[in-house]
Structure 1
Amino acid sequence: MSVADSPAARLQALFEGHRLTPTQRRIAHSMVRRAADVPFLSSVELAELAGVSQPSVTRFAVALGFDGYPALRRHLREVAPAEPVAEAGSSNEYQQAVEAEIANLRHLAEALADPRPVRRAGGLLAASRPLPVLGLRAAAAQAQGFVYFAAKVHPDVRFLGEGGTMLQDRIDAAVRAGATALLCFALPRHPREVVDTLDYARRAGLTVVTVADSAFAPVAKVSDLLLPAAVGTGLAFDTACSPMLLGRVLLEAMCDDLPEAQSRLEEFDAKAAARGLFVD
C-alpha cells in the first residue's frame, strides 16, 4: 500500500482545506491515529476516543460538509474500505501497547514513501549554523537525543530544553550567530510555551521544522514544515518510538547535506579509541 492509499492519508486529505476549531482538530487527530477503525465507530465511540462530546462529533461532520456523522461514516466506508482491527484476544495490555507502536511505525514507513519532506528538512537543518533544537517537557528526551548525535556531524548544535524567560534570549543569540532554521520536537501534552516560542522563532526569521505527534497538533500553525509521527497511548504515559525514529531519519537526511559528516565521524572514532572512551 502506498502512502497515498493508506487510511491515514485518505483521512488527512479529507480534512485539508477546512478551518477546524481546536476541538475539531482533536477529533481529526484521533481519527487519523485510529484510521483503520474509524469507519466502524459510532459517534459516541468516536467522542469517547477523542475526549469530546457527542454533539461535537456531529458538528465536526457538518463542518466537513456532511449532513451528519452517519453520512461521514458512510463516506469513510466507501473511500477507505477495510476490515476493523482485530481485537487483541489473549494479548495483555503490555503486548497491546507494543502492537500499537508497531502499527505507528508502519504508518511512519508509509509516510516516508515520499522522502521529499524529510530531505527538505535535512537540507534546512544542515544549512543552519548554529542549529537550535527545541524540546520541552515530554519532548525533551527526543530533542536531546537528536542533539547528542547531531553534534558529531554538525559544527554547532544548541539544545533548548528548558523553558522560561531565557528561551527567547537564546533564540535571539542563535539568530545573531547566523541560524536560519530551528528544529522542534513537540509531543503531547503540548506546552503553551512551545507554541509561543515557535511563533517567536518564525518572527525572528527562522524556518521552523517540527516533529509532532500529528499533522493537527497545536504546533502545526506555527511550523513551516511539520513531520508527523504518532505516539502510543495504550499505557499510563505516552510512548514515542515513531518520533524517535523519525528524528534518526532526519539525522540521516541532514548528514546527506553535510559533506564533512563522514570525516567528522571518523575523527570522533579515532579520538574515542585513543582515549579508551568505550569498552566495546
Structure 2
Amino acid sequence: MEESSARLLKLVEGHRLTPAQRRIAHCLVRRAADAPFLSSVELAELAGVSQPSVTRFAVALGFDGYPALRRALREGAEEAPGARAGGGAHPYQQAVLAEIEQLRVLAAQLADPGPVERAGRLLAGSRPLPVLGLRAAAAQARGFGYFAAKVHPDVRVLDEGGSVLLDRIEAAAAAGAGALLCFALPRHPREVREALAVARRAGLSVVTVADSAFAPVAEPGDVLLAAPVGTALSFDTAAAPMMLGRVLLEAMCDALPDAQTRLEEFDARAEERGVFLG
C-alpha cells in the first residue's frame, strides 16, 4: 500500500486540480490498494462526483481517459511486491496489517523533516495556540492539546462547533495567536472549512494534519501535513494521523527553549500532589 499511495501522489504532483478532481485524487489515495480495480462508476460514487468528472480527472493527469489511468495503476500494482497482501488473513488481521502499511507511508514521508519542523516552529511561536478538531478529529485535537499544555504556556483546544467556535478563534487572534493547528479527518465537517477561513482572515498561519494532501479544507498557503487513515473497518482508523500529531508535538518541543524545564516542573508538581499511581 505504501508504494501504491506514493505512485498515486506522484501521478497528481504538479497538476492544478479542480475541487471535484481533488476529491477523486483524495479517494484514490485513501483506497490505494483498490484503486487499480475500481471502475469509473465506482470511483465516481466513492468520491461523490459525476462519472464525466472521473474522465476529466484522468485527462488532467495526461491520460487519454480513465481506462488508460487504470491500466497504469494496474501495471504498478502488479509490479509491487506483496500487492494485495494479507488476503488469507482474518479481516481483523487485515485491518491491522493495513494500518501498519499506513504507518510505513508516514515514515517514508518523514524522510524529509522540513515541513514538520517548520510547522513545529509556527506552533511554538504562537501565544496562545488554538488547536482545532471537530467530530472524528476531536480526539486528535484533545490528545495533542493535553500534552502540548505541559510545555506550551497557553493551549486552547477547540473541539466544539457552532458560532462560539468562530468567536474563540477571533479571540485567540486578538490575544496574540500567530498560528492555528487543525486536525482534519474524514468525513470533513463543513464547519472546519468556515473556521479555517475565519482564522486566515484573522491573520493566523494554518497548520493542518489531514488524511490526505488533497483534504478539502486545506488552502495553498497552509502548512499541510498528511497521514492516511485506515478504511478496512466500519469506521476509519487514525493511527498514522495520531502518530504524526505526536511527531509534530516533538517538533514543537524542539522549538521551545524551555520545554524540558516545563516538563520537569510539571513532573515535580504531579509528584507532590500524588497525581499518578506509582
Question: Structure 1 length as normaliser, TM-score?
Answer: 0.89
The SS at the match of 2:11 is helix
Mapped partners of 2:182, 2:103: distance in 1: 20
Mapped partners of 1:261, 1:181: distance in 2: 18
Contact 1:36-1:83 within 8 A present in 2 as well: no
Mapped partners of 1:98, 1:66: distance in 2: 35
The C-alpha deviation readout for 1:9-63, integer Å capped at 9, x for no partner, is: 3422322343433332222112223445544655456456546555443232122
| 1:169 Cα offset (Å) | 1.3
Tell me whether 1:60 sits opposite 2:83 in the alignment.
no
Mapped partners of 1:196, 1:51: distance in 2: 21
| 1:64 Cα offset (Å) | 2.0
| 1:65 Cα offset (Å) | 2.5
The residue number in structure 2 matching 1:217 is 215
The residue number in structure 2 matching 1:23 is 20
Contact 1:142-1:247 within 8 A present in 2 as well: yes
Distance 1:232 1:77, change over 3 A: closer
Contact 1:209-1:225 within 8 A present in 2 as well: yes
Contact 2:182-2:206 within 8 A present in 1 as well: yes
The residue number in structure 1 matching 2:229 is 231
Mapped partners of 2:191, 2:47: distance in 1: 23
- Sequence identity (%): 74
The residue number in structure 2 matching 1:70 is 67
The residue number in structure 2 matching 1:196 is 194
The C-alpha deviation readout for 1:57-109, integer Å capped at 9, x for no partner, is: 32321222221123223444677842562353332221111111111111000
| 1:237 Cα offset (Å) | 1.2
The C-alpha deviation readout for 1:242-274, integer Å capped at 9, x for no partner, is: 111111001100000111100111111111111
Query: Counterpart of 1:258 in structure 2: which amino acid?
Result: L
Distance 1:46 1:162, change over 3 A: closer
The residue number in structure 1 matching 2:180 is 182
Contact 1:186-1:210 within 8 A present in 2 as well: yes
Mapped partners of 1:96, 1:130: distance in 2: 42
Contact 1:199-1:222 within 8 A present in 2 as well: no
The residue number in structure 2 matching 1:240 is 238
Contact 2:170-2:198 within 8 A present in 1 as well: no
Query: Counterpart of 1:12 in structure 2: which amino acid?
Result: L
The SS at the match of 1:60 is helix
The residue number in structure 2 matching 1:146 is 144
Gaps in structure 2 of 5+ consecutive residues: none
Distance 1:275 1:159, change over 3 A: same
Mapped partners of 2:155, 2:247: distance in 1: 17
The residue number in structure 1 matching 2:114 is 116
Q: Alignment RMSD, CA only?
A: 2.3
Gaps in structure 1 of 5+ consecutive residues: none
Higher deviation after alignment, 74-83 or 61-70 = 74-83
Higher deviation after alignment, 13-22 or 147-156 = 13-22
Mapped partners of 1:41, 1:64: distance in 2: 17
Question: Structure 2 length as normaliser, TM-score?
Answer: 0.90
The residue number in structure 1 matching 2:98 is 100
Distance 1:125 1:161, change over 3 A: same
